[in-house]
């Protein structure tokens, strides 16, 4: 207990000691005075001197104790208020922590659910693709057999050629579905993100209108273990979508940065590894999208483009490629305010 | 001309392939799954077996390993449309079990017929 303690807990005891000691001194002085002047003052007022001394002692000690108790009670009530305040702060802090934990948990649950949904769709798509390959094979085979039976200049020969064309288009589509559903084992090699992104941008350049600006903000050298072609595919798909969302004018910003392994930012992702991550953010100034579109963007066959312009597979392939790279991808968007895709890819440890 | 055992569970594909092979002057013995193929092999001695991989009762993978044990000289062609697994995975497995060549459906039938001719004339190394 120190003297600069805000509560001065020693104060009531000091008052009690001083009060009681003072009372005794006062009683002693009165007693001396009465003995000295015993003949002059046989009584004080109407009381006998001994009674007066006892009264002084009784009153003095009583008042001292009362004041002590009063001060002690005031101190206790103040102390309780402080304790209550501290408890309140603790409670608020733990409530905020619980809320944050709940939020993180629900984010994780949503991400897991999304992953499971996409996996289930992948399995389904894989099964359908198998049956489709058989059907397409039958269509192509029979069409070829029939073509052998008819005159090369006949309309039937030409029409069967169209059947074959359509079947081959179907074959390409199945190929793309399978890219989504298969766990293909692509060759992974150390790749440098900056040069990979620059290469993807130079691939895209001829197809992007001059009124759409692409800004790339290269960070330090970041090396990931991955498949260059697949990472190109991811960037090309996202940037093409961004350009499509801009109706010919606007800008796309690409930014890369490093997220250290212990960064709390990583806690919101379910399958995160204990290592540093490269973060790629691709932001466009396009028309953005609403919540329902955002929730379904990585689902296969989901498209907002008109019939024939999109298969609805591009973004699901992007998702499956990022998963194959043990990465994460999220999208944030607001109608009228553009879209941001955020990709996390585990960085290569050591060299 | 070759004696070909065609094992395929899809009726349409089996019929189409039978017609295609017969037009190329081959003799076709067909079976709808691995079990039927094993039965056919008790009485028939085909030169080449063309088999699908994912089939009910007995799969192409089991069939290929059995045939390679009992008829080591028979040439085998594996075909597959895949499924949940990458078909190249199944096809790689078939080749490691003894299939001479494998095709992913839908197959270019001209290439299939060419492969059969090459296998028939013992030019296995040229098939791929």
Q: What is the pLDDT of residue A95?
A: 92
Around Cβ A82, how many Cβ atoms within 10 Å?
Answer: 12
Q: How far is A189 from A192, CA to CA, in rounded Å? A: 10
DSSP label of A268: G
Q: How far is A292 from A261, CA to CA, in rounded Å? A: 32
**Chain B within 8 Å of A203 (Cβ-Cβ)?**
no
SS (H, E, C) B37-100: HHHHHHHCCCCEEEEECCCCCCCHHHHHHHHHHHCCCCEEEEEECCCCCCHHHHHHHHHHHCCC
pLDDT in tens, chain A (351 residues): 333 455 678 888 898 999 999 999 988 888 887 777 665 555 555 667 788 888 889 999 999 999 999 999 999 999 999 999 999 999 999 999 888 878 877 776 676 666 666 666 766 777 777 788 889 999 999 999 999 999 999 999 999 999 999 998 888 888 777 766 655 456 778 888 988 898 888 878 877 888 889 999 887 788 898 888 788 888 988 988 888 888 778 999 999 999 998 888 888 887 788 889 999 999 999 888 888 888 888 877 677 766 555 666 778 888 888 988 889 999 999 888 899 999 999 998 764
The tokens of A209 are what? 């209108």
Contact residues on chain A for B54, CB-CB shorter than 8 A: 130
Phi, psi of A18 (to 5 degrees): -60, -45
CB-side neighbour CA atoms (13 Å) of A44: 15
Q: How far is A234 from A315, CA to CA, in rounded Å? A: 8
Q: How far is A188 from A232, CA to CA, in rounded Å? A: 13
How far apart, in Å, are the Cα atoms of A158 and each of A44, A139, A148? 142, 15, 12
Q: Which of A131, A142, A182 sits opposite B16 (nearest CB)?
A: A142
Whether residue B22 contacts residue B28, with contact meaning beta carbons closer than 8 Å, is answered with yes
* Structural domains of chain B, count: 1
List the domain range (segments joined by +) for residue B43. Answer: 3-126
- Whether B12 sits inside 8 A of A144 (CB atoms) is no
CATH number of the domain residue B113 falls in: 3.40.50.2300
Q: Which of B86, B104, B106 sits opposite A140 (nearest CB)?
A: B106
The tokens of A37 are what? 């002047």
- How many helices (H) and strands (E) in chain A? 7, 7
pTM: 0.48
A277-284 and A339-346 strand pairing: antiparallel
Q: What is the pLDDT of residue A4?
A: 42
CB-side neighbour CA atoms (13 Å) of A90: 6
Contact residues on chain B for A178, CB-CB shorter than 8 A: 82, 86
- Can you tell me the ipTM of this complex? 0.84
């Amino acid at each position: 207990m120190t003297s600069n303690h805000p509560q001065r807990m020693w104060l009531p005891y000091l008052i009690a000691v001083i009060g009681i000691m003072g009372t005794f001194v006062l009683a002693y002085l009165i007693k001396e005075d009465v003995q000295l002047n015993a003949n002059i003052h046989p009584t004080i007022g109407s009381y006998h001197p001994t009674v007066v001394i006892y009264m002084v002692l009784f009153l003095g000690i009583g008042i001292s104790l009362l004041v002590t108790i009063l001060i002690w009670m005031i101190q206790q009530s103040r102390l309780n208020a402080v304790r209550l305040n501290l408890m309140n702060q603790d409670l608020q802090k733990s409530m905020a922590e619980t809320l944050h934990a709940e939020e993180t948990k629900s984010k994780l649950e949503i991400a897991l659910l999304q992953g499971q949904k996409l996996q289930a769709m992948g399995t389904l798509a894989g099964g359908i693709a198998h049956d489709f390959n058989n059907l397409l094979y039958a269509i192509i085979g029979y069409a070829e057999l029939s073509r052998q039976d008819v005159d090369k200049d006949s309309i039937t020969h030409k029409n069967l050629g169209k059947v074959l064309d359509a079947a081959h288009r179907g074959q390409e589509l199945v190929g793309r579905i399978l890219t989504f559903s298969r766990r293909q084992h692509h060759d992974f090699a150390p790749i440098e993100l900056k040069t990979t992104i620059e290469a993807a941008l130079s691939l895209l350049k001829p197809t992007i209108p001059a009124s759409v600006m692409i800004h790339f903000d290269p960070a330090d050298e970041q090396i990931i273990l991955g498949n260059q072609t697949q990472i190109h595919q991811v960037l090309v798909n996202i940037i093409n979508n961004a350009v499509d969302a801009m109706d010919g004018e606007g800008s796309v910003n690409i930014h890369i940065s490093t997220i250290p392994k212990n960064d709390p930012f990583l806690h919101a992702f379910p399958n995160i590894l204990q290592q540093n991550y490269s973060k790629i953010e691709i932001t466009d100034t396009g028309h953005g999208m609403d919540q329902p579109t955002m929730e379904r963007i990585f689902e296969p066959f989901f498209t907002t483009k008109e019939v024939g312009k999109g298969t609805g597979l591009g973004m699901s392939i992007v998702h499956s490629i990022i998963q194959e790279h043990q990465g994460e991808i999220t999208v944030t968007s607001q109608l009228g305010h553009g879209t941001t895709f955020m990709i996390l890819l585990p960085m290569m440890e050591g060299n | 001309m070759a004696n070909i055992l065609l094992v395929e569970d899809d009726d349409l594909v089996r019929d189409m392939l039978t017609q295609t092979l017969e037009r190329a002057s081959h003799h076709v013995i067909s079976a709808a799954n691995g079990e039927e193929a094993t039965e056919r092999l008790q009485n028939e001695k085909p030169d080449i077996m063309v088999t699908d991989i994912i089939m009910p009762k007995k799969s192409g993978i089991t069939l290929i390993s059995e045939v390679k044990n009992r008829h080591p000289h028979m040439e085998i062609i594996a075909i597959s449309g895949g499924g949940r697994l990458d078909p190249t995975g199944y096809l790689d497995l078939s080749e490691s079990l003894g299939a001479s060549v494998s095709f992913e459906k839908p197959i270019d039938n001209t290439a299939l017929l060419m492969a059969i001719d090459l296998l028939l004339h013992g030019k296995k190394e040229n098939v791929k």
